Amino acid sequence: MKMNKRTFLAGTAAAMALSAGGMARAASHGEKLKVGFVYVGPVGDGGWTYEHDQGRKAVEAEFGDMVETTYVENVPEGPDAERVMTQMALGGAKLIFTTSFGYMDQTINVAKKFPDVKFEHATGYKTAENVGTYSARFYEGRAVQGTIAGHMTQSNKIGYIGSYPIPEVIRGINSAYIHAKKVNPDVEFKIVWAFTWFDPAKEADAAKVLIEQGCDVVLQHTDSTAPQAAAEAAGNVYTFGQASDMAEFAPKPRISSIIDNWAPYYIEQTRAVMEGTWKSEMTWDGIGAGMVGIGEITDAVPAEVKAEALALKDAIASGEYHPFTGPLKKQDGSDWLAEGETADDGTLAGMNFYVEGLEGEIPQ
Amino acid sequence: MDLSAINPVLLIASLMVAATPILLAGIGELVVERAGVLNLGVEGMMITGAICGFAIAVNTGSPFAGFVAAAVGGAALSLLFALLTQVALANQVASGLALTLFGLGLSSLLGQGYVGIKPPATGRLEIPVLSDLPFVGRILFGHDLMVYFGIAVVAVVWAFLKFTRAGLILRAVGESHDAAHALGYKVKRVRVMAIMFGGACAGLGGAYISLVRVPQWTEGMTAGAGWIALALVVFASWKPWRVLLGAYLFGGVTVLQLNLQAAGLAIPVEYLSMSPYLITILVLVIMSADKSRAPASLGRIFHASQ
């Protein structure tokens, strides 16, 4: 018995040595650029992480043998993320995309230790010499969503499932509310914070609760399609795809969607690193640049509402209209934007207040 | 704040739904632990059950077949754990953790083709007259069968452990496997059977999430429910009815806090959000102030020669 174990161990060691040698050979062979991706959810979530992974695949398709991509999914936003990033950098990745807001400090920390590795952090606001940030102006899509939602609600109650109270989510709530209110002055928002990006059971519960309390349109800022399924089961409730098209729930309950399109950006940044032209930047693109897409508005939406929504989309895309245009007040009644004034990016990036008319407090 | 927006009937009805997955997984793990085995793979068995049940329900069109498949799938995965810990005498904690990781990976592999598909609807119990009773009708008689099945399993496990000879043997194995062995009981056989029962229950709990509560397949969809079930068993001090109480408390506060948020209650959301964990633990810890303790052989490896 013991003898067996020893020979087994020796065999494993030999096998490991062999495979290590093989890997070393492969590494010295080509000049592949290694690109790492850190995901907060599973690639099969059908939402946020799914779209980032589509971007990763686009990078592979674009550069073929010149790149090698790796990814780690389901990485919690905490110390674990730092470990995963360190591992990637040690594994030879020269460009690492960290794709969730909660990786912000971890990205900065790890970037300090690996000055020759470039980091790209999604939706954050901290940069460094070798850390750039990128985000999409989802709030532009939320404006279109809010317009449709305001028209579609019969009960005048719109539910909103928030993930975490961070500026990105708060911007979305404000933008959706402003535009729903514009077309329907009686509209009221019920906001539930799930404190998770991805937990289908909890998201389903949140959607059910909102529906039970009379909401007939449910917007979500969480990553799974569970709220869509809950809305479908409930019957006369409308939803919007979040981050991904979620077209499997069209034409009802899903009547439109916000689609994140990261592929062009990922390709561009990978090329910049290859050519040595990469710089730390804060990229923030919207509908105009194609980073935010509006999914097909289905026939469940009346034609004139659809036309109005598409006109708004075009106006935003051309830069003619800004979703945060005054006059706007903050929730406490103080003035924020004067007539015709538009919000500057600094305020939007750190947005931590509701606009006038929204009820409830933002968890701090 | 508008508390009248909360409908108590719907609240109670939905808490029973929210509690069923952890109730099923918890009662299964309770039996396993009473037999002296600590299986930390509940999460892995739940998610495996979730995809097995989902796949079979979609392919056959029958939710019932789905649930059967989920139980079989969970039990099959738990056999791997039984093999490691009862035959190879591996460390139970490590094997259980490995089982969770394995189950998560296996399920996402099996689930590749099932993303975005809708499962057949699981029917609700409709009893004429009774289901239409005001208030109690919807709460007591308006659920899918699995909700009642969960409660029935708790009752059966309780009666089994308390009144039957087989239950006594199982407890003896969990308290002192050496003594049980000396008396001629088959320690390993009892434990393997307990482990498989636990796996089947966890599988059912997982399938309840993918077929009824959510209902769809998404990778990693159990999102920690297995760990909550594990904690529930400990805080319930290994007593069946307390697992039921704990599961309903946890499910109840989870649903209630979402309701309070939607109604705009002026309590900071952070407190509401942590309340299910806090309240459940608090109540169960207070209740376990009596002399209940863990099965004496819990987590210890048994080999007949020692």
Query: Mind listing the pLDDT tens digit for each residue in B48-57?
Result: 999 999 999 9
Q: Are the beta carbons of A225 and B216 separated by less than 8 Å?
A: yes
In a domain, B126, yes or no: yes
Residues of A in contact with B10 (CB under 8 A): 212
**pLDDT > 50? residue A225:** yes
3 state SS of B142: coil
Beta-bridged to residue A95, according to DSSP, are A35, A118
Q: Which pLDDT belongs to residue A185? A: 95
CA proximity to A158, closest of A107, A108, A214: A214
Torsion of CA A273, A277, A282, A286, to 10 degrees: -80
Q: Return all residues near B41 (Cβ < 8 A) that are at least 6 apart.
A: B77, B78, B81, B95, B96, B97, B98, B99, B100, B102, B103, B226
In a domain, B260, yes or no: no
CA proximity to A40, closest of A107, A133, A127: A107
**pLDDT > 60? residue A222:** yes
Strands of the sheet containing A292-295, edge to edge, are: A188-193, A157-162, A217-220, A238-241, A254-260, A292-295
> Looking at residue A47, what DSSP letter applies?
S
Q: Are the beta carbons of B5 and A213 separated by less than 8 Å?
A: yes
* Interface residue B209 vs chain A (CB under 8 A): yes
In a domain, B142, yes or no: yes
> Looking at residue B93, what DSSP letter applies?
H
Domain range A138-259+291-349, its CATH number among 3.40.718.10, 3.20.20.450, 3.40.50.2300, 3.40.50.150: 3.40.50.2300
CB-CB: which of B111, B269, B273 is closest to A44? B111
- Sign of dihedral through CA atoms A327, A331, A332, A336? negative
Query: Mind listing the pLDDT tens digit for each residue in A13-64?
Result: 444 444 443 343 334 345 789 999 999 988 887 788 999 999 999 999 999 9
Q: Which pLDDT belongs to residue B306? A: 59
Q: Are strands A292-295 and A254-260 parallel, antiparallel or unpaired?
A: antiparallel
d(CA A167, CA A364): 11
Strands of the sheet containing A33-38, edge to edge, are: A67-72, A33-38, A95-98, A118-122, A131-136, A282-285
Percent of chain A surpassing pLDDT 90: 70
| Other residues' Cβ atoms within 10 Å of the Cβ of residue B279 | 16
HSE, CB side, 13 Å, CA atoms: give it for residue A19: 5
d(CA B139, CA A208): 16
Between the alpha carbon of residue A73 and those of residues A45, A76, A100, A133, A250, the distances in Å are 11, 9, 11, 20, 28
d(CA B236, CA B231): 8
What residue ranges do the domains of chain A occupy? 31-136+262-285, 138-259+291-349
* Interface residue B88 vs chain A (CB under 8 A): no
Query: Mind listing the pLDDT tens digit for each residue in A116-174?
Result: 999 999 988 889 999 999 999 999 999 999 999 999 999 999 999 999 999 999 999 99
Q: Are the beta carbons of A212 and B112 separated by less than 8 Å?
A: no
Q: Are the beta carbons of B214 and A159 separated by less than 8 Å?
A: no
Instruction: Give me B10's structure tokens.
Output: 């719907």
Residues of A in contact with B225 (CB under 8 A): 201
Beta-bridged to residue A294, according to DSSP, are A258
The CA distance from A43 to the nearest CA of chain B, in Å, is: 8
CB-CB: which of B213, B220, B273 is closest to A193? B273
Q: Which pLDDT belongs to residue A40? A: 92
The contacts found for B150-158 with CB under 8 angstroms, 24 or more apart, are B150/B19, B150/B20, B150/B23, B150/B24, B150/B27, B151/B23, B151/B244, B153/B24, B153/B27, B153/B201, B154/B23, B154/B27, B154/B240, B154/B241, B154/B243, B154/B244, B155/B240, B157/B27, B157/B30, B157/B31, B157/B240, B158/B240, B158/B241
Q: Which pLDDT belongs to residue A13? A: 43
Query: Mind listing the pLDDT tens digit for each residue in B184-220?
Result: 999 999 999 999 999 999 999 999 999 988 888 888 8
Residues of B in contact with A233 (CB under 8 A): 215
Contact in structure between B26 and B34 (CB atoms under 8 Å): no
In a domain, B72, yes or no: yes
Integer-rounded Cα radius of gyration of chain B = 20
The CA distance from A250 to the nearest CA of chain B, in Å, is: 11
As a residue count, chain A comes to 364
In a domain, B303, yes or no: no
- Rounded to two decimals, the ipTM of the complex is 0.79
Domains: count for chain B: 1
Query: Mind listing the pLDDT tens digit for each residue in B111-160?
Result: 888 877 788 887 777 777 777 777 777 777 778 889 999 999 999 999 99
As a residue count, chain B comes to 306
* Interface residue B184 vs chain A (CB under 8 A): no
A154 against B294, higher pLDDT: A154
Domain that holds residue B52: 20-223
The CATH class for the domain spanning A31-136+262-285 reads: alpha beta
Contact in structure between A299 and A255 (CB atoms under 8 Å): no
d(CA B278, CA B2): 25
CA proximity to A175, closest of A153, A216, A145, A155: A145
> Looking at residue A350, what DSSP letter applies?
T
- Residue owning tokens 């985000």: A135
Query: Mind listing the pLDDT tens digit for each residue in B262-286?
Result: 887 767 777 888 888 888 888 878 8
**pLDDT > 50? residue A84:** yes
Question: A31-136+262-285 and A138-259+291-349: same fold?
Answer: yes
In a domain, B12, yes or no: no
Please give the residue of chain A at the shortest CA–CA distance from B116: A248
Instruction: Give me A353's structure tokens.
Output: 């207040």
Q: Return all residues near A251 (Cβ < 8 A) that are at least 6 apart.
A: A298, A299, A300
Q: Are the beta carbons of B218 and A210 separated by less than 8 Å?
A: no
- Residue A95, judged by CB atoms within 10 A of its CB (0-12, 13-18, 19+), counts as buried
**pLDDT > 60? residue A332:** yes
- Residue owning tokens 């043997």: B169
d(CA B64, CA B146): 10
Instruction: Give me A106's structure tokens.
Output: 């971890």
Please give the residue of chain A at the shortest CA–CA distance from B117: A248
* Cis geometry, peptide bond prior to residue B276 (ω within 30 degrees of 0): no
* Interface residue B255 vs chain A (CB under 8 A): yes
Query: Mind listing the pLDDT tens digit for each residue in A278-299?
Result: 999 999 999 998 899 999 999 9
Q: Are the beta carbons of A210 and B108 separated by less than 8 Å?
A: no
3 state SS of A135: strand
Q: Are the beta carbons of A201 and B10 separated by less than 8 Å?
A: no
Mean pLDDT for chain B overall: 89
Residue B291 pLDDT class (50, 70, 90 cuts): low
Q: Are strands A335-337 and A328-329 parallel, antiparallel or unpaired?
A: antiparallel
In a domain, B41, yes or no: yes
Residues of B in contact with A229 (CB under 8 A): 118, 214-216
Integer-rounded Cα radius of gyration of chain A = 23
3 state SS of A38: strand
Please give the residue of chain A at the shortest CA–CA distance from B111: A44
Torsion of CA B238, B241, B244, B249, to 10 degrees: -90
